[in-house]
Structure 1
Amino acid sequence: MTRKTRLTRYALAAALAGGLLTGCTSDDESLTYQTDYSNHRPLKVVGYPSTGSLQTVQAAVWRLADGDVSGLAELAVDDTHANATARNWVKAFGPAAEGDVTADFYDEGSVRQVVVLYFAKSGQIKEIEARRGREDDSWGLTLAEPDPAEVTAKPTWAPSKPGHSGSRTVGAASGN
């Protein structure tokens, strides 16, 4: 039995035991998260994410690693270009997302948050935006890059390594 299989079984057993002890079962979202968490490398985090931005970015990295275009597209806050963008992201970053990924969260995250993903396996850097949706106040991603060239363009402002600058807002306000 592989380590991944053992971890999945332990996570599922813990979720089931927790549900039995409290007299109720885990909801589907919680069980999905626990299973995803045990089946993937942990996301390294720099900065100050909100709970919503962190969960959304973590799910996006998992969908990339799994090659799950439709799952990634479901994270979109606007579906105009979601499928094309998700397809492009999976093609460009999917294999790299299977390795170590660091997410550097910028600015204050109550409504939206810019995040720079650093893929250690490939050396790729990707800027994304997590934000609250318009209708139900849940968090999602801006998936508005149907052009493959746009998807792989490195952000010009981001440092080459995570954690080497601070929030753009804080830096501008403090004169740094």
Structure 2
Amino acid sequence: MTPTTRLTRLTLAAAATGGLLTGCAAPDDSLAYQTDYSNHRPLRVVGYPSTGSLETVQKAVWRLADGDADALAALAVDDTQAKATARNWVKAFGDAAKGEVTADFYDEGSVRQVVVLYFAKSGQIKEIEARIGEKDDAWGLTLAEPHLAEATAKPTWAPSKPGHSGSRTSGN
């Protein structure tokens, strides 16, 4: 076998291997998540999130920080009031989401999880709900606050500082 033939075969083998590996590459969602992660402040986490609730809440905080109401509304499990709610959340919390945010995850998170967001920059506190949607079994947010007053209402039960995770139904 001549050196040229060997080089040609090696080149073809490398091209074939590269083609196979391309088929195994991470999906675009993974790349988008990694890019988002590197472009935003890390979310501080308290409590015990599930993988799905954590990713959903992290994306929500990123969309708030970006001021992207449409992308935030796309995280909704039910889009009935999602766009109006997302606009309210961006208006109320978008600036504060650019700073340090702590997410306090309450209750067990296999299909639904209450999360309290603490915005250090503004001192605001926001209760949200991450859950699995009924249509596609994917994690998303309950976005059902089409009026600014309800979107900005501080939860009456949540502690003033993060770190007191636990079930709201067990006396906390």
Which band: TM-score by shorter chain?
0.7 to 0.9
Matching residue of 2:156: 156
Runs of 4+ in 1 over 4 A off after TM superposition: none
Written as runs of structure 1 = structure 2, the 5 A alignment for 1:38-77 is 38-77=38-77
| Structure 1: segments with no counterpart, 5+ residues | 1-19
Separation of aligned partners in 2, 1:164 and 1:49: 14
Amino acid at match of 2:29: E
How far has the Cα of 1:165 moved from its partner? 4.8
Contact 1:76–1:141 at 8 Å: present in 2 too? yes
Q: Highest CA radius of gyration, 1 or 2?
A: 2
Separation of aligned partners in 2, 1:41 and 1:27: 23
How far has the Cα of 1:135 moved from its partner? 1.3
Matching residue of 1:85: 85
Separation of aligned partners in 2, 1:165 and 1:56: 18
How far has the Cα of 1:67 moved from its partner? 0.3
Contact 2:60–2:72 at 8 Å: present in 1 too? yes
Amino acid at match of 1:87: R
Q: Percent identity?
A: 80
Amino acid at match of 1:141: L
Matched, 1:143 2:165: no
Separation of aligned partners in 2, 1:83 and 1:139: 18
Separation of aligned partners in 1, 2:168 and 2:106: 7
| Structure 2: segments with no counterpart, 5+ residues | 1-17
| TM-score, structure 2 normalization | 0.85
Instruction: Give 3-state SS (helix, strand or coil) of 1:23's partner.
Output: helix
The alignment covers a number of residue pairs equal to 152
| TM-score, structure 1 normalization | 0.83
Amino acid at match of 2:100: D
User: Which digits, 9 at most, give the CA deviation of each residue in 1:57-97, with x for residues without a partner?
Assistant: 00000000000010000000000000000000000000000
Separation of aligned partners in 2, 1:166 and 1:49: 12
Contact 2:76–2:82 at 8 Å: present in 1 too? yes
Cα root mean square deviation, aligned: 1.3
How far has the Cα of 1:166 moved from its partner? 2.5
Contact 1:159–1:165 at 8 Å: present in 2 too? no
How far has the Cα of 1:26 moved from its partner? 2.3
Matching residue of 2:21: 23
Contact 2:106–2:165 at 8 Å: present in 1 too? no
